[in-house]
Amino acid sequence: MYLIKEADKKIKVSLFITCLVDALFPQVGVSMVKVLKRLGVEVGFPEKQTCCGQPAFNTGFRQDAKLLAKRFLSIFDRDEFIVSPSGSCTSMVRVFYKELFHDDQKTSNMVELLSTRTYEFSEFLVNVLKVDDVGATYKGRVTYHDSCHALRELRIQDEPRKLIKSVKGIDFMEMKSPETCCGFGGTFSIKFPDVSVSILDEKIESIIESGADTILSTDMGCLMHIGGALNRMNIPVKTMHIAELLSNR
């Protein structure tokens, strides 16, 4: 296991916890804190944070999204890494804020700076801290679902897999088409529930086929969607955020 040496300047991280994790899955945040602290990272949590504005942006309410984005910019203004347990929310900040402010030079510049220090949790571990093995153990057969935004906006694909494969005692297997969307899509899941669910059904099938007892991802959005169907259908497969896995000893 890799530990940041005392002599090294301590790496400082501001948690960007996302409203979903804050309200529905606080254990994911706690796990993240554990993993980061164990690696010798100094963790902070800007308490004024709420939502990055993605739901508004995705539904076309750009003005509202802008207000929340600006608020986000003012809260995360300290010169630290920003790390989030979500590929989707990280994409919002790193990719879509630029889109949102493309005609506003001043804010654009701020976004540019911010986006260079904003990371999704698994890529932060692997690409910034250069850690594959965080010393976790897990008994179980797991498979991994690529969240769309993590995969296609941030190109995170190998990072979580490296981390998962380094967990002691784990039995990892790919499912069929791990990169296919689970049908969540934020408000899409409510606007067109039947389409959303039929896409989800295919994902559930792949998960069952893989034989895994645990389904992992970088995003609680996807896992909430997948888990919602697993629960409803009484399928004994656990959903687990990658941070939860990595904090397990």
Partner 1 sequence: MENIKLSFEKDSAIALKNIKLQRALNKAIDQFRNVRWRAVREFQDWEQLRVSARRIKEWTIDHLDGYLEMLEANVINAGGNVHWASDANEACEIILDIAQKHKVKSVVKSKSMATEEIELNHSFEGAGIKVVETDLGEYIIQLANERPSHIIAPAIHKTKDDISKLFVEKLNTPYFNEPEDLTKIAREKLRNEFLNADMGVSGVNFSVAETGTIVIVENEGNARLTTTVPRIHVALMGIEKVIPRFEDLPIFLNILIRSATGQKMSTYVSLITGPKRNSDLDGPEEFHLVIMDNGRSKILSNEETRESLYCIRCGACLYICPVYKKVGGHSYGWVYQGPIGAIITPQLLGIDKASDLPFASSLCGACKDVCPVKINIPRVLLELRARVINDKRVGARFLLRIAVKLWRFTMENTSFYNLALRLSYILQKPWIRHGRLVSLPFPFSRWTKKRDFPAISKIPFRKQWKEIKDLEF
CA-wise closest residue to 216 among 167, 160, 136, 169: 160
Closer CB to partner 1, 59 or 127, in the complex: 59
**Closest separation in Å from C-beta 132 to partner 1:** 19
| Least Å from the CB of residue 172 to partner 1 | 23
Alpha carbon distances (Å) from 191 to 76, 110, 116, 145, 183: 32, 34, 34, 23, 12
43 vs 73, beta carbon nearer partner 1: 43
Distance CA 175, CA 28 (A): 23
CB of 237 to partner 1, least distance (A): 14
Exposed / middle / buried, residue 61 (Cβ in 10 Å: 0-12, 13-18, 19+):
middle
Structure-token pair, residue 69: 């984005």
Cβ 196 to partner 1 shortest distance, Å: 7
Give the contacts of 190 (CB within 8 A, at least 6 positions apart): none
Nearer to partner 1, 83 or 172 (CB): 83
In the complex with partner 1, which residue's Cβ is closer, 149 or 161?
149
Could you give the 3-state DSSP secondary structure of residue 138? strand
**Gap between the Cα atoms of 56 and 117, Å rounded:** 23
User: At residue 63, what are phi and psi to the nearest 5 degrees?
Assistant: -60, -45
| For partner 1, the closer CB: 79 or 194 | 194
Nearer to partner 1, 87 or 172 (CB): 87
Burial class (CB in 10 A: 0-12, 13-18, 19+), 213: middle
- Alpha-carbon span 158 to 137, nearest angstrom: 19
Residues in contact with partner 1 by CB under 8 A are: 17, 19, 21-26, 29-30, 33-34, 37-38, 43, 45, 47-51, 53, 55-62, 64, 67-68, 71, 96, 99, 148-149, 152-153, 179-181, 183-200, 202, 224-225, 227-229, 231-232
Instruction: Provide the minimum distance between the beta carbon of 177 and partner 1 in the complex, in angstroms, as a whole number.
Output: 9
- Nearest approach in angstroms of CB 114 to partner 1 is 18
Q: Which is nearer to partner 1, 52 or 142 (CB)?
A: 52
* Minimum CB distance to partner 1, residue 171 (Å): 26
State the Cα–Cα distance between residues 245 and 243, nearest whole angstrom: 5
H-helix or E-strand spanning residue 114: helix 105-116
